[in-house]
């Protein structure tokens, strides 16, 4: 029986050998620049490596240091989880809802509105605009408005006050979040089979909400999974927004995240063993979260 199955698989592989040859260049690039670095990072995480000397095996010392002695990492972990719990679901739902709403627009209007919502994720001047808005002097737009309305008597140091830093980063990230996932949802909605809605009407579906739950969402599970992975990755990998707005390091580490902690040890201190440990922990958290979301998406439409 095993020989029969093996023979069938070999024949199938021979029949598809042209496809495998075409996939080979991509696989080699993906293996070299993604799979191999991840595996090496996991191994280097168990060593003391400063890029000048040969790595010294230290076992679980880096992990003990990370969770027991590194207070800044615990702050970064708390900030990252708080940031992800808010921005991940909110941005994911916003991407789908906006895509669902504008899907019924005429093609020209839909293309224009899509560009309007997608543009912030492409804009290189986004941080300049938000820095001007939350500038800590009287020339900052928000401070200027508050002073004119006499809501405050002196300028508020928005980006230098710890309790304001993370909410501002969350606001900016949500504004930038309508990116690849949003386009994937638009494409998925546009590619749906219209006969499904006709069949649903015959089977008793009477309103848009029933169509959404029983037809649209189940038909878009691949796009929903892709969007979830993209939003989770963006939320856990936040660093650029935090550094651009709050500086590096931010005041009292109020905007410090796991990725900025990784940048500190990997790009500044060159403690590559410890940095690899941080990267491995982040990878594990992201993998676990993605598996959880994938399990939840299986229940859509049930």
Q: What is the pLDDT of residues 233-267, one digit of tens each?
A: 888 888 888 888 888 888 999 999 999 999 999 98
104 domain-assigned: yes
46 found inside a domain? no
Q: Give a yes or no: residue 39 inside a domain.
A: no
Q: Is residue 219 situated within a structural domain? A: yes
pLDDT value at residue 192: 81
Determine, yes or no, domain membership for 51.
no
Residue 14 lies in a domain: no
| Distance of alpha carbon 299 from alpha carbon 302, whole angstroms | 6
Q: What is the pLDDT of residues 169-212, one digit of tens each?
A: 998 888 888 777 888 888 888 888 777 777 777 777 777 788 88
Whether 59 is covered by a domain: the verdict is no
What CATH number should be reported for the domain holding residue 188? Answer: 1.10.3720.10
State the pLDDT at residue 121.
73
Three-state secondary-structure class, residue 56: strand
pLDDT recorded at residue 235: 87
The tens place of each residue's pLDDT in the chain, 302 residues long, gives 566 676 667 777 777 778 888 888 988 999 999 899 889 999 999 999 988 888 899 989 999 999 999 999 999 999 999 999 999 889 888 888 888 888 888 888 888 888 888 877 776 556 778 888 888 888 888 999 899 888 888 888 988 888 999 999 998 888 888 777 888 888 888 888 777 777 777 777 777 788 888 888 888 888 888 888 888 888 888 888 888 888 888 899 999 999 999 999 998 999 999 999 999 999 999 989 888 888 887 766 55
pLDDT at residue 124, rounded to an integer: 56
Q: Is residue 33 part of a domain?
A: no
* Full domain range(s) for residue 86: 71-297
Structurally, how many domains does the chain consist of?
Answer: 1
Report the distance separating Cα 120 and Cα 131, nearest Å: 15
DSSP, res 153: S
Cβ-contact 152, 146 below 8 angstroms:
yes
pLDDT of residue 44: 94
């Amino acid at each position: 029986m095993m020989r029969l199955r093996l023979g069938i698989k070999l024949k199938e592989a021979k029949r598809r050998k042209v496809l495998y040859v075409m996939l080979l260049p991509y696989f080699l690039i993906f293996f070299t620049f993604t799979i191999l670095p991840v595996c090496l990072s996991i191994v280097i995480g168990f060593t003391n490596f400063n890029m000048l000397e040969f790595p010294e095996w230290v076992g679980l010392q880096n992990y003990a240091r990370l969770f027991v002695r590194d207070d800044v990492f615990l702050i970064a972990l708390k900030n990252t989880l708080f940031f992800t719990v808010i921005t991940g679901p909110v941005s994911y739902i916003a991407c789908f809802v906006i895509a669902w709403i504008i899907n019924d627009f005429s093609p020209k209007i839909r293309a224009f509105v899509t560009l309007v919502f997608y543009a912030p994720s492409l804009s290189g001047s986004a941080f300049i605009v938000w820095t001007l808005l939350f500038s800590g002097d009287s020339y900052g737009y928000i401070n200027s408005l508050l002073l004119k309305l006499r809501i405050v008597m002196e300028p508020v140091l928005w980006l230098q006050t710890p309790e304001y830093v993370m909410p501002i980063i969350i606001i900016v990230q949500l504004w930038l979040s309508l990116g690849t996932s949003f386009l994937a949802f638009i494409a998925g909605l546009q590619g749906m089979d219209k006969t499904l809605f006709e069949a649903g009407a015959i089977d008793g579906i009477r309103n848009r909400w029933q169509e959404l739950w029983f037809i649209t969402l189940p038909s878009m599970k691949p796009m929903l999974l892709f969007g979830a992975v993209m939003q989770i990755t963006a939320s856990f990998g936040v660093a650029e927004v935090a550094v651009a707005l709050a500086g590096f390091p931010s005041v009292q580490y109020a905007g410090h995240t796991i990725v900025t902690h990784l940048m500190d040890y990997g790009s500044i201190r060159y403690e590559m063993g410890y940095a690899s440990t941080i990267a491995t922990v982040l990878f594990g958290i992201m993998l676990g979260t993605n598996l959880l979301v994938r399990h939840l998406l299986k229940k859509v439409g049930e």
